[in-house]
A and B are shown apart, each in its own frame.
Chain A
């Protein structure tokens, strides 16, 4: 089945702490995953991606972990800043096979950074 949008859960984190946002994906055939950040009234913004032949990938202040056994993806944000406040979505793709391959979005998590 496909991931279906549900009511957004919220994660509240104090500025400077690390954030961990989780995502359960639905399709065991998916082999490419992307994390997006969406601010209010805007389109999704790319954060980091990972292919299924990896279990960890690091970027600037962000790390994505992939556990294919349990179909779980997480996004870790180090030293969370107020500017990180947004809604975060994971997206899965069944085969990075070119421009026609579509993304399926997860539920999303609202990250609130408190001062």
Chain B
């Protein structure tokens, strides 16, 4: 079945630094990937839609200069949290849609970001 690999699973960084999270579709091509953010005991909130070869589409209230998304190939999207602050600490999850089976949306295992 469709597999999405997300890396790293956990990262701790200092305030002011940038962190890059990778999302790869392993056995299918994904022209579109999605990035979500999840706070503890909360639901998943869509941050942006990553489009291969073009600019990402950000949801209202998400700072595009803060959360840089690059979708350079059909199997890789990256989310870079720039100048990270403690309030950026969260669980970030990517997903991609391989097709229409089993909901079609395959999720990565998530990245726990802690900014100290």
Compute how far the CA of A98 lies from the CA of B98 in the bound complex, rounded to whole angstroms.
9
Contact between chains at B34 and A44 (CB < 8 Å): no
**Residue numbers in A under 8 Å from B100 (CB-CB):** 96
Compute how far the CA of A98 lies from the CA of B97 in the bound complex, rounded to whole angstroms.
8
- What does DSSP make chain A's interface, helix, strand, loop or mixed? loop
- What does DSSP make chain B's interface, helix, strand, loop or mixed? strand
Tell me the smallest distance from the CB of A97 to a CB of chain B, in Å: 10
- The closest CB in chain B to the CB of A99 belongs to B97
A105: contacting residue among B43, B91, B98, CB under 8 A: B43
Contact between chains at A46 and B103 (CB < 8 Å): yes
Total chain A interface residues with beta-carbon distance under 8 A: 28
Q: Which of B70-96 contact A (CB under 8 A)?
A: 91, 93, 95-96
Chain B interface category by residue count: 20 to 34
**Residue numbers in B under 8 Å from A4 (CB-CB):** 43
Interface flag for A83 (CB, 8 Å): no
Contact between chains at A41 and B34 (CB < 8 Å): no
Compute how far the CA of A105 lies from the CA of B41 in the bound complex, rounded to whole angstroms.
13
Query: Can you spell out 21 A-B residue pairs with CB atoms less than 8 angstroms apart?
Result: A4-B43, A5-B42, A7-B42, A43-B4, A43-B93, A43-B110, A44-B44, A44-B93, A44-B107, A49-B102, A49-B103, A98-B97, A99-B30, A100-B32, A100-B51, A102-B46, A102-B49, A105-B44, A107-B43, A108-B42, A108-B43
Given A5-B39, A99-B97, A100-B32; 4 other pairs, CB 8 A cutoff: A45-B107, A96-B100, A103-B105, A106-B43
B interface with A by C-beta (< 8 Å): 4, 6, 30-32, 34, 36, 39, 41-46, 49, 51, 91, 93, 95-100, 102-110, 112
